[in-house]
Amino acid sequence: MIGIGSPAFCQTPFLDMLGEISKHFELWEILSEGEDQLELIRGDIKHARESFDLQFQVHAPLSDVNVGSVHEPMRIAAVNEIKQTLVLCRQLEIPLVTIHPGFIQGIAFLDKKRAVVKTRESIMDISRTAEDLGVAVAVENMPANINATCTHASELLEVVQGSGLGICFDMGHANTVGELEEMLKLADRFTNVHLHNNDGQWDQHNRIDEGSANLDEIVSVLKLSYKGNIIIEATDLESGAESKSVLEPLL
């Protein structure tokens, strides 16, 4: 199924956004922040299923949530935030949550590998909770950024290896670091996919056919190796709907 997600949506009241999204999509990946914090919209999600026949998956909170923090109290707080998201998803019968790996800040710049080690420690902890709750979790590859971990396939695999977590393949992120080919080699580990495009320089979230990433090649690999949902990550609903129109004939 093709769905949509956008950080911009959580700036609009959930019910207002719901009516607009349901005109174009049957699946919404909710970013649990702002107006769309899961705790605040629990009843609305149940209403949406019944009245709009809309399905949901969730992107865990991003703001200040660093599972790779080298300051242990902050890392634990981030892990607990993710776990609480998983608990809510279990209660709301939402089957899949996507999370970001850790990021590098403060003294972690003196030894960047520590952020990766801490990220893996957090991933293993989150994996145990996910298994207990029966909620699938996907760890997303990150775009080129001085603060980022898991921009390369090898590091992302290092973080999730041996855990019960899957990978969220982000096409636009991989394109900014020249990692599309290497990421697609991990397609059998994908449990979620984010599609958007860019010029290869920065994370622009363009329409899926507007950029230097070869959409046809990516879709060809996904058709062979991936059976899950595809989320169009857009800057707004209009461009997301346009991307859906581009994608549908290719699948």
50-62 pLDDT, tens digit per residue, is 899 899 999 999 9
* pLDDT at residue 199 in the model: 98
Q: CA 73 to CA 251: how far, in whole Å?
A: 45
Q: For the packed helices 72-91 and 113-133, what is the interaxial angle rounded to 10 degrees?
A: 30
Query: By the 8 A CB rule, do 66 and 78 touch?
Result: yes
Query: By the 8 A CB rule, do 90 and 135 touch?
Result: yes
Fold of 2-250: TIM Barrel (3.20.20)
Q: CA 128 to CA 123: how far, in whole Å?
A: 9
Q: What is the mean pLDDT of the chain?
A: 97
Task: For the chain, give the longest Cα–Cα distance.
Answer: 52
3-class secondary structure per residue, the chain: CEEEECHHHHHCCHHHHHHHHCCCCCEEEEECCHHHCHHHCHHHHHHHHHHHCCEEEEECCCCCCCCCCCCHHHHHHHHHHHHHHHHHHHHCCCCEEEECCCECCHHHHHCCHHHHHHHHHHHHHHHHHHHHHCCEEEEECCCCCCCECCCCHHHHHHHHCCCCCEEEEEHHHHHHCCCHHHHHCCHHHEEEEEECECCCCCCCCECCCCCCCCHHHHHHHHHHHCCCCEEEECCCHHHHHHHHHHHHHHC
User: Nearest 5°: phi and psi at 96?
Assistant: -140, 135
Query: Domain limits of the chain?
Result: 2-250
User: Nearest 5°: phi and psi at 109?
Assistant: -65, -20
pTM for this structure?
0.97
**Structure-token pair, residue 84:** 């609480």
The burial of 39, by beta-carbon neighbours within 10 Å (0-12 exposed, 13-18 middle, 19 or more buried), is given as: exposed
The mean pLDDT values, 10 residues at a time, for the chain of 251 residues are: 98 96 98 97 92 95 97 98 98 98 95 96 99 99 98 98 98 99 98 99 97 98 97 98 98 96
* pLDDT at residue 50 in the model: 87
